[in-house]
Chain A
């Protein structure tokens, strides 16, 4: 989630950022430099202390726990190398969890990005009801996931749920969606798309707004009369970098899915809908297997870091399009 920040702010206000950088280069009077440095340290000290205690020491802590035999309540520990990781990798539950998370992301990311793009293009193609449609599609992104998961559970209820009622009325087969190994994960993916497509939509709408209108005029002069031609020659190439960014942010959100798993399936039936964050939570805090939980957390961190670096790598290229 937070990974997206720098990129979008660049997207929104390129001009102002440049002005900011220039004016900050005009330095403050030199005779105050010692005083200024002391103020600097004084003002940043609380944030720095909390950053170290609440972010950096815990990261080190996760690694220490993952590479040692520490257990809850133990007063000493010894390093055991990769033992925890070996246990994790040979555990069927973890492999299922990792595969499920990837499969879930593979369903959620294209679904969310394509739906978000389509809806953004449709909404922006005319003024009629624009604000209403935008507001409606953004609702799930704001709504408390725990509460909405409870509503989804009622919708998916095998006997009294709206979904089975509707399917039965149409003469289609019904299912016990959340208690069936083949449907549990796809159903969670549909809910994931439902939650995130409004987010993808607003990011694409920001991207669309940043395309200079001159380009459309130029395309029209060059003979792109049909909207499809303009979509092909201007919109699609200009949205390329934004799309890459949306893909990565949505992927990060998909990997961080927890609430719907916890409320709707608890990873079941069997391990069929277990995902990484749920595994981290259950192993660490319900089964109290600290070493195992920390090892899974590090696998999870590695995936998130890889996705983030992919995005940082793309950030510089975006400049060409502005």
Chain B
């Protein structure tokens, strides 16, 4: 379609429709930021405007950070995402290399298992995983938030696709240089498949930073809650009436990913769809 030149009428029509749909997309974001800058009195006033009449942002954001342990929630989220991602890469890259480049008995069967795992919705497994965490006595710990995700069938699948594209000659040359297979994974394959690693990292961090379902099941302790669970607890505690600080907290939770997305759009679209997923 890219080669088509639009007539002036068509161009105006195109912008008209896209501005309308963009407005529909942006309203919840604008409203969230707008309320986070307003005083309670103004929020409950009958008239409204996007910009606050009286700038109340400092009070709202200060309350979101101090009266709610929001920095703690976000720190928990960051820690959990980092642990999950590190574990996933450590576990998946060698497995993907074995599936892509090595011949061994049972390889095709294991790859079939990876594909089945890829199609399993994780929520279906939550009850047995909850029992497993209970038996391991790790409920209500960071470990419970991390353990179910240490292996990612998607990660294995994506890395295998990329590793297969790396010529075997490179693997042979590395062996002649005396590298063992494990060293080939970390010194040759992973660096050469860096785009896949980045795309997968974005996919993984976005999924786990935003996840509410499993943290809701795995932790009760407010000190361990990741961001989405934390703001849900904040909302329930405030009975949804203290909108300013609640919106400030929501803005702070959404902001890191959105800023990263705007800075590295191409990578994000790739990560979320390029191998494609979710």
Contacts and interface: CB of A to CB of B under 8 A. Distances in A.
A44 to B, nearest CB: 4
Contacts of B110: 44, 48
Contacts of A24: 100-101, 164, 168
B102 A39 contact: yes
Nearest to B167: A23
Most-contacted residue by chain B among A1, A24, A256 (CB, 10 A): A1
A133 B16 CA distance: 12
A294 B127 contact: yes
B103 A142 contact: no
B246 interface: yes
A113 interface: no
Given A1-B277, A5-B276, A50 B103 contact: no
Contact of B153 (A55, A203, A262): A55
Interface of B: 1-6, 10-11, 14-15, 17-18, 21-22, 24-29, 31-32, 35, 43-44, 48, 90-92, 94-95, 97-107, 110, 113-121, 123-132, 147-148, 150-151, 153-154, 156-158, 161, 164-165, 167-168, 171-172, 181-182, 185, 206, 209-210, 212-213, 216-217, 227-229, 231-232, 235, 240, 243, 246-247, 249-251, 253-254, 257-258, 261-262, 265, 268-269, 272-278
A152 to B, nearest CB: 6
A50 B123 contact: no
A5 B275 contact: yes
B272 A160 contact: no
Contacts of B167: 23
A109 interface: no
Interface stretch (A82-90, A97-105, A124-132): A124-132
Contact of B121 (A21, A124, A259, A300): A300
A302 B117 CA distance: 15
Chain A interface main SS type: helix
Contacts of A115: 21
B113 A51 contact: yes
A267 interface: no
Nearest to A160: B44
A59 interface: yes
B254 A143 contact: yes
A54 B132 CA distance: 9
A46 to B, nearest CB: 5
Instruction: Please provide the 7 A-B residue pairs with the shortest distance between their CB atoms, ordered closest to farther.
Output: A8-B276, A1-B278, A40-B104, A61-B128, A47-B95, A58-B128, A146-B228
A182 interface: no
A121 B2 CA distance: 10
A56 B113 contact: yes
A319 interface: no
A221 to B, nearest CB: 14
A277 to B, nearest CB: 6
Contact of B104 (A37, A125, A151): A37
Given A125-B6, A142-B257, A144-B210, A136 B26 contact: yes
Given A6-B157, A304-B121, A146 B168 contact: no
Interface in A5-64: 5-9, 12, 16-17, 19-21, 23-24, 26-28, 33, 36-44, 46-48, 50-51, 53-59, 61-62
